[in-house]
Structure formats: C-alpha cells, structure tokens
Structure 1
Amino acid sequence: MKEESKQEKSEGGSLRKSPFNLFMNQLQRKKSSEKDGKSQSSLVSRLFKSSKPSPPKTDLQKESSELETTDSQPDKEMETETGTETKIETNSEKPTTSETESQSLDAETDLESNTAKIEQFLQKLGKKPNSRSIDLNNCGLTSTDAAELGALLPLLPELEELDLSWNDFIGGALKPVTLQIHHVSKLKILRLSNCRLTTDDVLALGEAVKTTPDLEELNLSWNTNVGGNLSHILQGIQEGSKVQILKLMDCDLTAEDAVSVGQVLPQMQNLEVFDLSINRNIGCSLTSIVQGLKNTPGLKVLKLQTCGLAQDSIQILGDAFGHLPELRTLDLSGNKEVGGGFKDSAVHLAHLKHLQVLDLHQCSLSEEDVASLTQVIPLLSSLRELDLSANKKVGSSSENLLSRLRFLPELATLAINGCALGREAFTALAEASMYLPALKILDLSWNKYVGGNLNLLLETLKLSATLQVLRLRSCSLVAEDMALLASVIQTGHLTKLQQLDLSYNDSISDEGWATLSQNVPLLKELTELDISLRPANFRECGLWFGHLLNGLTKLPMLSELGIQRWRIPAPQVEDLEHFNRNHKRNLHFDYGGF
C-alpha cells in the first residue's frame, strides 16, 4: 500500500502544480515560439530590403482570464492540463532556446551572404536588386555570367520576370540557367530574344518550360535555331496554359514548326498576343495555324508580317476571323505575294468589329483589292491605325477608298507613304481628312504629287488640333509649300506637333528654308526636326541656317535635329558642338555624311 501510495504521489505530481505555474509555462512556450517566428521573419525581410509585419504581441490579460476560467472547472479540466503537461515533458528533447538562437543566427548569416551575392552580381551589371524582376536586357552577358546567374536562381523563389534578351554571347551557355528555372516556379515572364540560342539551349529550355506553370509571356524572337526545334519547347505548354504572350519573330520556323504551333494553340485558351512575323516558310502550313487560332477566342494581337503568305492565305485566315471577336491588331504587312487575295476575301475583315490596327503595307495590293477594301474598311468603325504604304497601285485607284476614311472617326494614325498618289486620290484624301478629329500621325512621304499642292491640306492642318507627327519626306516640296506651312504655324494650328520630317526635299530654295526656320521656334513641343538632303546631294547652307540656330533656344523639347549633307561653315559647326554645353541641353545633331 505504501508503494502504491508513493507511486500515485509520483504520477500525480503534475496534478498538484499550481495554476500560476501552468500559466507561466504556457507563456514561456508562446514567447519562445514568437521569438523564433520573429527571427525568421526578420531574416526574410532583410532580403531585398522588403519587410513583413511581425506577429501581434500576446495579450496577457486575455491569458489570465482564460486561466481563471480553467482553474474554476472541475477535475475534468485538470485532466486536460495534465495531458498537456505530460506531452510537454515527453517532447523535452526539442532544441533549447540557446540552440534555436544559434540556428537562427546561422540562418541569418546564410541569408545575408546570399543577399550580398545577388546584390554584387547585379551591381556589376549596373542593375539594382529586385526579388521579383531581373532585367539584364542588352547587358553584354558572358557564359560566366550565365553560370553565375544559374547558381543564384535558387535564392530567388519569388522571381516573376527574367529578361536576358539581346545578349548574344550566352548562346550555348544557357543550360546552367535552364537547369535552375524549376526553383522559380512563380516565373511569369521569360524573354530570351536575340541570344543566339543553340539547339542544345532550345532542348534544355523545353524541359525548363515544363516547370513554370504560371508562365504568361515567352519571347524567343531572333533565335534562328528555334526553327526546326520549336516542338521541344511547345511540349512544355500543357492544357490550361496561362501563356498570354507568345513571340517567335524571325526564328527561321519551318513548315513542321507551323504544324506544331497549330497543335498547341488549342491548349492556350488565354493567348492574347501572337507574333510569328518574319518566318517566311510558314505560309504553306497556314491552315494548321488557323485551325488552332479558332480555339483562342481572347486573341487581341495577331502579327504575320513577312510570313510567305499567298493569295489564298486571305481566304484561309478569313475562316478564323469569325472566331476572334476580341482581335484588336492585325498585321499582314510585307507579304508581297498576297496581292489579289483581298479581291473576294476582304469581306471577312467585317467580322473584326473591334479591330483598331490594320497594317497592309507592302502587300502589292491590286486595284481589285482596293475596290474590295473600299467596301469593308468603312465598317471598321473602331479603327485607329491604318497603314497602306508601299502599295504603288493604290495611288491610281484609291480615290474611293481614301474618301471613305471619313467614316473612321477614331482614326489616329494614317500612313500612305509611297503610294504614288495622283491628283484625284490626294484631293479625296484632303477632303476626307477634315473629318478625322483624332488624327495624330499623318505620313505622306514619297508621294511626289504633294509638292506644290500642300495647299489642298490647308484645312486639315488647321482643323487637326491633335496632330503630333507630320512626315513629308521626299515629297518634292517647294518654297510655296514652306510658306503655307509657316502660315499655319503662325496661326497656332500645329501647337501639338512633336515630329516634323521634311527631309529629301532638295527642291526647296533658300528662301523656303528661311521662311520655315523663322517660324519653327513657335512649335514649342517639337522634339524632332529633319531637314536632311538626299544621300547623293550636298549643298551649302544659306543665311537661313543662322536663324535656325538662333531659334534652337526657343525649342526646349527638341532632342533631334537632322541636317545631313548640308555643308555647314566651320564657325557654325563649332556653335553646334558647344550648344548643348552652353544651354545645358542634350540635343543630338545628325550632320554626318560629308
């Protein structure tokens, strides 16, 4: 009996502990836990100098109240406390407070060392540390840098953006980076354009893409070895992909690559920007791509510039337009064989109700194409940018098309340079342009008829209060045109003008240049002015050049002055060279070439 009593006394020792002792034990454990938590939090917060809020302090009054409530309960509550206390004793082998502090100090030292490594690496490249974004675009990276970056990636688990574009010396040395990308599983943006990727780089990248489920943008443009190997990269894109932007410009893609693209597009339901420009061999496999495009209803930008499209390509693409209700930008420029393809297929463009940008420059449009576009373009009421440049046959048949531009009230950019505009076409344009209140950019370059007939645009120049860019390059302008332009400037109708291109107009006399130079200083928002001569011509500057130099002080925004092939007297060359220093400006004078 005595032994049993002694045993009961030993086992029940914990029961006889006072409520105060229990309370102090609980409080000590909680403080120790909080201390460890705070230590870890402070370590993380030091990385990239970002801080996180500390856990709230313990409310002692609340703890006391809870303890009083427990103490007033019968033995059932005491049994609960007993179980807790016994558990604590059982786990007595956990690290002591001093051991935990030692571990925290070691972790702190490691983090500080890692932070120093990251900062040192980025600082030598002229970049500031950022835990979410590393932009090393055009930094002259070497294979050694690539290896060092790969070693640092495991220390950047929060990284969302990695841009290594325009570093052509890391081609063939990308593997150390791709092998570590799985450590940055939150990566959303990966840009590797113009890195001279090798076939091995592309294969390694394909494996890396599989480990980035949150990837939203992938840019591999200007890497020719992507061509023929694209399937290895696309296999990393799975069903439900989050990719929104895919750019593969000038990658030397093959017809087989085009088929691979068509097969993966149905898995890219979130795709918004798709750029396959300057891949001349994919036109023959356009059908595969179009079938895939039918499964990307949210696509907003489609660029197929210089992709080897043919006449029948417009009909093939037209089948997809009805499935792309959100398309905002369509670029088919540079496809010279497409001429004649709009004759019976331009009607498909009418499906693109929200189209804002249509680029058809250098498409060898025929008169039949223009006639068909005349019926469709007025229906694209949301159009903001239209480029019909370098379609030389447009000038003789575009009077109807250009007159229809008045139905595009939101048109802000109109480029019809190099279209051989005749009198009827230019007159139709001048009349229609008066109904374009949002016009900001007007490019009429390389249309000789404009010279001597700029007066037809007088009302447009007066009404275009928003005009910011006026390009009249190589338009055979004469002194009378300069007088007209000067009068418009004097009356304050071009106050928003930022860029004025009058280059390659060698037919303008010294009197014409003098008239312009005296009025240019009134364009207070002008940033660029180009009055260069043609490459084959050289000419002495007249007295007007002195007026232009004097007026530069009145153009606070001017940053670029093109005056190539003008023979400038030595004293005025010296004035140009000292202008920036004397007036604390950063104005670039482009007067080389002689």
Structure 2
Amino acid sequence: MVKSAENDHGENRKQQEDDVILENTPINFTMSQTRKNNSSEGETKPQTSFVNKFLRGSKAESREEKNDLQTTDSQAGDWIQKAATSDAAKPLSSETELRSSVEENEQFLQKLGEKAVDKCLDLNNCGLTTADLKEMVTLLPFLLDLEELDISWNDFVGGTLHSITQQMHLVSKLKILRLGSCRLTTDDVRALGEALEMIPELEELNLSWNSKVGGNLPLILQKLQKGSKIQILELVDCALTSEDGAFLGQVLPVLQSLEVLDLSMNRDIGGSLNSIAQGLKSTSNLKVLKLHSCGLSQTSVKILDAAFRYLSELRKLDLSCNKDLGGGFEDSLAQVVMLKHLEVLDLHQCSLTADDVMSLTQVIPLLSNLQELDLSANKNMGSSSENLLSRLRFLPALKSLVINNCALESETFTALASVIQTGHLAKLRKLDLSYNDSICDAGWTMLCQKVQFLNELIELDVSLRPSNFRGCGRWFRHLLCAVTKLPQITEIGMKRWILPASQEEELEWFGQDRKRSIRFDHGGFQEADFPLSY
C-alpha cells in the first residue's frame, strides 16, 4: 500500500491539527467479491472463479437464475468459438484432445457470469492470490480482443509479472494497462519493457506507486518507437531519480500523442526539469501536466514558462505542494498567456509571496477559460490577494475557487463580495474560504449578503481551523436568507462555528416544511440535514 506522504504534503487539507495534514492513500474501489448461490429446479450452480467475482460491471449476485443462464449460454458460444480457433492452431494429438480442451474452456468460461466481456478485464484491488493470477493468465489466450487490463493494487502481482507479459503477444490490441501499486520488482520492470513492443496499440500506461520503477525507467521506456500511441503516462510516487527524469526528457519527443503526464510525488526529478521541459516542447498535444510535490524550485518556474509556449492545448496544470516555488513567479510567467485553453490551475501550498501574487494578478485574468483555481495553503497571500480576487471578474467560466488557509483579511472579502454582487462569478459551483480565521464578523456579514448572487453554487465552506472555535455572529442570519435564494446549494461547511440555542432554534425552524435537502455540517457539534425549498 502507499505510504502516507510527509506532513508538508497537505497543509491545506483539513483532517489534522495545527495545519499539519497527511495525504492519505488514494481511494480504492473494491469490486464485489461474493456471489450468491442461486439454484434452478433444485440444482445448485457450480462455484464461481475469481474472474466472476471481480469482472467490471458484474451484477450476477443480484440477477435471477434464468437471465444468468441465458446470457452465459449466449456468450459461451462465442467464447468457445475463440477457444476452438486458438487451440486449433496448437499441435493437438487427436480430435478427442481438441474436444476435451474446448470442454474445459467452456466450463471455465461459464463461470465468468453474465457480464463477461472480452474487451475489458478489471481486477483492480481484488486481493488476487498467486493462484488467481495463474488462472487469469490461462484466460488471456481467449481474450484476443482485450483492450483494457487493470490489475492495480494487488500485491501478489509483484515478482510474477513475467507470466503475464509472456502472453502479451496474444493481446496485441491492448490499449490500457494499469499496474499501479503492484509491488513490481526490477525483474518485473524489465519484463514489462520487453513486452511493450508486443502491444503497439497501447494508449495508457499507469505504473504509479511502484518504487522499483525508480532507477529503472529506461528498462521500461527504451523500447518505445517513434509514432507511439501512448496518450496517458502516469508515474506517481515511483521514486524516480534525477537520471530517470533526464531519460524521460529524451523519450518525450517520441510520444507525439501524449495528452496526460503525471509525475507527481517524485521529489528528485526537480533536478532534471531542464531535460523534461525540453522534451515537453515536442508534446504539443499535452492536455494535463501534473508535477505535484516534485521538488521544484524558484528557477523551475522560469524553466517551465519557456515550455508553455509549445503547450497551447494544455487544460490542467498542477504545480502544488512545491514549497520552494515561492518567489519564483515574480516576472516569470510571460508565456502563461499561451495557455489559452487552461481550465484547471492548482498552486496550493507553493509558499507564494506577495510578489508572486502580484505577478499572478497580471496573468490569471488572461486565462479566460479557467474553471478551477486553487491557491489554498499559501499563508503569505493575506491582503496582497485583494487585487487578485478583484480580477476574478475576467474569469466568466470559473466553477471552483479554493482559497482556504490563506490568512485572508476582511478587505480581501470586500473585494470578493464586489465581484460576486456584479454577477461575474455566476458559474461558480464551489467556494472554499475555510481556515481563514482572521476574518471579523463584519467581513463574514458582507460576504453572506452577497452569496445569494451565486445562482449555481452547490458547495460553500466557511469552516474554522481544528484548533479554533467561535460563536456565529449576525452574519449567520444573512447566510440563511441567502440560502433560500440559491436553487442548487446542497452543502454548507461550518465546522467549529458554535451556534447558541437561539440560532439552533432558528435553524430548526428554517428547515421545517421545506422540500430540498441542504446539509449544514458543524463537524462534532452538529450535523443537521434539513429539506429546503426556495
């Protein structure tokens, strides 16, 4: 499993005390691992294999027996045809042996359940054993049209990947291969590199959270040829070395179709950013670039800025949790204006200085397609962000604004409330102002009076820090009034704001005889769900 990142990775997150936030292991979606034993006419169905338990979309456990048998029989015929074709190419000694092989395949395939498909095999986070992997390998020869294979988050894959890669020539149509957090060994990495030649249609490769990829990246990517169809390359937390970064920079020009590059949580590649940036100049189709927590420095901004002019199709840029970036944005963003299609900009926890904010104030208004902006956990922004927030009026498409834990002042809220009232943020759906405890009641009042103009707002968070508790002022009544005029709002975060008895009664009255549900989250003090109409 992924180890938690160091404390400085998530200061802007809201789970830990004293602003020290730990990044948690990514959410894993565990597929159904049981199937009910249904019976038809007194007969019990044979025990299903692991494939039936985990195949994507399998709903066998809730289907009736009749539908299950009809679908299985229908699909089994097609699969048996493939099995016969595959086995016919082998030197079997007799027709009897061929028939026996087909019958065995039929029995195995009938255990797949009604949703068995031949293009997608998703065994993500299924707790596969070595025996399960062997069974999966026997299945591959009958999945000649397989396009997606996901065996991520299965520890026992490590050390056994060669048994799978040896069959890659049979699934040459494979487009997606996900091996995240599989405890791959160096031998696995080498075997994978050799197998990539056999799957020329590959479009997505995910090797995230495999530390042995670090120092061995050339073994994987050296076989890639010009004209590679890879569109998505994810190498999150792979312990990549500076040498790996330099090699990647040399490979990038080969990846002409690359659209997503995620190198997050590889702290040592900051030293090879020159090589990576040089390679990025050849990836004109790139739409997503993630360099979260990559050990970037002040000079990194200038290096990346030189590459931005070649990345006109970029939609998402994540430079978050690079604390040494602070001060690097000063007069270093001349080419950001080339990112005309940029929709997401994440600069949270980058130690932005007042001069950085001034530079961003000049640049951000030129990104008219920006939909998500995250500047949270930059405590030195303070009052210097007043002009920046006033420039948000030039971002008509903005849907998410996250500026929590930024030591904002009341003057900043005033600037944000001019912008809101004039209707320039009409598309905003998420507004996170939490952990800005220095705002006085007058500032909250002014903001709450203007919130009613955010017609598409769904989520509002004004929570306090875990170490702070305050009583709600008169602004709470203005908030309730504004909420009645917001047709989309469903979530209001108010953790650690203490409601006196009179305001609790007011909130309870407010929720009576209402039709739409809005959740006021008070954390440990109160969690009230009330239906609301407007």
TM-score, normalization by structure 2: 0.78
Task: Name the aligned partner's letter for residue 418 of structure 1.
Answer: N
Tell me if 1:495 matches 2:487: yes
For residues 119 and 227 of structure 1, the distance between their equivalents in structure 2, rounded to whole angstroms, comes to 41
Checking the alignment, whether the CA contact within 8 Å between 1:132 and 1:159 is kept in structure 2 is yes
Task: Name the aligned partner's letter for residue 193 of structure 2.
Answer: G
Match of 1:448 among 437, 453, 457: 437
For residues 389 and 399 of structure 1, the distance between their equivalents in structure 2, rounded to whole angstroms, comes to 15
Change (3 A) 1:268 1:527: farther
**Structure 2 partner of 1:364:** 351
Matches within 5 A, 1:289-308: 289-308=276-295
User: Which stretch of structure 1 is more off in the superposition, 212-221 or 137-146?
Assistant: 137-146
SS at match of 2:345: strand
Matches within 5 A, 1:568-583: none
SS at match of 2:268: coil
Checking the alignment, whether the CA contact within 8 Å between 2:298 and 2:327 is kept in structure 1 is yes
For residues 263 and 147 of structure 1, the distance between their equivalents in structure 2, rounded to whole angstroms, comes to 37
Checking the alignment, whether the CA contact within 8 Å between 2:141 and 2:167 is kept in structure 1 is yes
For residues 495 and 523 of structure 1, the distance between their equivalents in structure 2, rounded to whole angstroms, comes to 13
Larger Cα Rg: Structure 1 or Structure 2?
Answer: 1
Deviations 1:516-547, CA, capped at 9 Å, x for gaps: 343356775547552113xxxxx6x7xxx8xx
Report the alpha carbon displacement of residue 168 of structure 1 after superposing the two structures with TM. 2.1
Change (3 A) 1:143 1:447: same
**Structure 2 partner of 1:130:** 117
**Structure 1 partner of 2:426:** 437
Matches within 5 A, 1:91-490: 110-111=101-102, 113-120=104-111, 122=112, 128-434=115-421, 435-450=424-439, 452=441, 453-474=443-464, 476=470, 478-489=472-483
For residues 335 and 515 of structure 2, the distance between their equivalents in structure 1, rounded to whole angstroms, comes to 45
Change (3 A) 1:211 1:288: same
Aligned length: 443
For residues 522 and 417 of structure 1, the distance between their equivalents in structure 2, rounded to whole angstroms, comes to 34
For residues 514 and 321 of structure 2, the distance between their equivalents in structure 1, rounded to whole angstroms, comes to 35
For residues 512 and 377 of structure 2, the distance between their equivalents in structure 1, rounded to whole angstroms, comes to 33
After superposition, the CA RMSD in angstroms is 2.7
Report the alpha carbon displacement of residue 425 of structure 1 after superposing the two structures with TM. 1.2
Report the alpha carbon displacement of residue 173 of structure 1 after superposing the two structures with TM. 2.3
User: Which stretch of structure 1 is more off in the superposition, 106-115 or 309-318?
Assistant: 106-115
Task: Name the aligned partner's letter for residue 231 of structure 1.
Answer: P
Deviations 1:369-392, CA, capped at 9 Å, x for gaps: 011111111111111111110001
Report the alpha carbon displacement of residue 109 of structure 1 after superposing the two structures with TM. 6.4
Report the alpha carbon displacement of residue 477 of structure 1 after superposing the two structures with TM. 5.8
For residues 171 and 451 of structure 1, the distance between their equivalents in structure 2, rounded to whole angstroms, comes to 55
Task: Name the aligned partner's letter for residue 499 of structure 1.
Answer: E
SS at match of 1:515: helix
SS at match of 2:261: strand
For residues 285 and 521 of structure 1, the distance between their equivalents in structure 2, rounded to whole angstroms, comes to 60
Checking the alignment, whether the CA contact within 8 Å between 1:451 and 1:478 is kept in structure 2 is no
SS at match of 2:352: coil
Change (3 A) 1:376 1:498: same
Task: Name the aligned partner's letter for residue 461 of structure 1.
Answer: V
Q: Identify unmatched segments of 5+ residues in structure 1.
A: 1-41, 52-101, 534-538, 557-594
Checking the alignment, whether the CA contact within 8 Å between 1:189 and 1:216 is kept in structure 2 is yes
Report the alpha carbon displacement of residue 347 of structure 1 after superposing the two structures with TM. 2.3
For residues 458 and 413 of structure 1, the distance between their equivalents in structure 2, rounded to whole angstroms, comes to 18
For residues 522 and 296 of structure 1, the distance between their equivalents in structure 2, rounded to whole angstroms, comes to 57
Change (3 A) 1:343 1:437: same
For residues 360 and 479 of structure 2, the distance between their equivalents in structure 1, rounded to whole angstroms, comes to 32
SS at match of 2:380: helix
For residues 518 and 168 of structure 2, the distance between their equivalents in structure 1, rounded to whole angstroms, comes to 43
SS at match of 1:448: coil
Greater relative contact order (Cα 8 A, min sep 6): structure 1 or 2? 2
Checking the alignment, whether the CA contact within 8 Å between 1:266 and 1:293 is kept in structure 2 is yes
Task: Name the aligned partner's letter for residue 460 of structure 1.
Answer: K
Change (3 A) 1:519 1:224: farther
Checking the alignment, whether the CA contact within 8 Å between 1:47 and 1:111 is kept in structure 2 is no
Report the alpha carbon displacement of residue 138 of structure 1 after superposing the two structures with TM. 1.1
Checking the alignment, whether the CA contact within 8 Å between 1:234 and 1:260 is kept in structure 2 is no
Checking the alignment, whether the CA contact within 8 Å between 2:406 and 2:436 is kept in structure 1 is yes
Aligned-pair identity in percent equals 50
Matches within 5 A, 1:486-565: 486-489=480-483, 492-505=484-497, 507-520=498-511, 526=517, 529-533=520-524, 548=528, 554=531
For residues 196 and 524 of structure 1, the distance between their equivalents in structure 2, rounded to whole angstroms, comes to 50
Task: Name the aligned partner's letter for residue 414 of structure 1.
Answer: L
Report the alpha carbon displacement of residue 396 of structure 1 after superposing the two structures with TM. 2.3
Change (3 A) 1:510 1:201: farther
For residues 167 and 317 of structure 1, the distance between their equivalents in structure 2, rounded to whole angstroms, comes to 36
For residues 491 and 361 of structure 2, the distance between their equivalents in structure 1, rounded to whole angstroms, comes to 30
For residues 233 and 210 of structure 2, the distance between their equivalents in structure 1, rounded to whole angstroms, comes to 14
Checking the alignment, whether the CA contact within 8 Å between 1:395 and 1:420 is kept in structure 2 is yes
For residues 391 and 298 of structure 1, the distance between their equivalents in structure 2, rounded to whole angstroms, comes to 31
SS at match of 2:407: coil
Task: Name the aligned partner's letter for residue 151 of structure 1.
Answer: T
Deviations 1:198-219, CA, capped at 9 Å, x for gaps: 2221111111112110000001
Checking the alignment, whether the CA contact within 8 Å between 1:321 and 1:348 is kept in structure 2 is yes
4+ residue runs of structure 1 moved beyond 4 angstroms?
A: 42-45, 48-51, 105-112, 520-529
For residues 330 and 177 of structure 1, the distance between their equivalents in structure 2, rounded to whole angstroms, comes to 35
For residues 251 and 386 of structure 2, the distance between their equivalents in structure 1, rounded to whole angstroms, comes to 44
Report the alpha carbon displacement of residue 255 of structure 1 after superposing the two structures with TM. 0.4
TM-score, normalization by structure 1: 0.70
Deviations 1:159-184, CA, capped at 9 Å, x for gaps: 00001111123222222112212210
**Structure 1 partner of 2:55:** none
For residues 75 and 476 of structure 2, the distance between their equivalents in structure 1, rounded to whole angstroms, comes to 65
Checking the alignment, whether the CA contact within 8 Å between 2:270 and 2:296 is kept in structure 1 is yes
For residues 520 and 394 of structure 1, the distance between their equivalents in structure 2, rounded to whole angstroms, comes to 38
For residues 464 and 512 of structure 2, the distance between their equivalents in structure 1, rounded to whole angstroms, comes to 23
**Structure 2 partner of 1:79:** none
Checking the alignment, whether the CA contact within 8 Å between 1:43 and 1:108 is kept in structure 2 is no
Checking the alignment, whether the CA contact within 8 Å between 2:413 and 2:447 is kept in structure 1 is no
Tell me which protein shows more helix as a share of its residues.
Answer: 1
For residues 139 and 370 of structure 2, the distance between their equivalents in structure 1, rounded to whole angstroms, comes to 47
Task: Name the aligned partner's letter for residue 200 of structure 2.
Answer: P
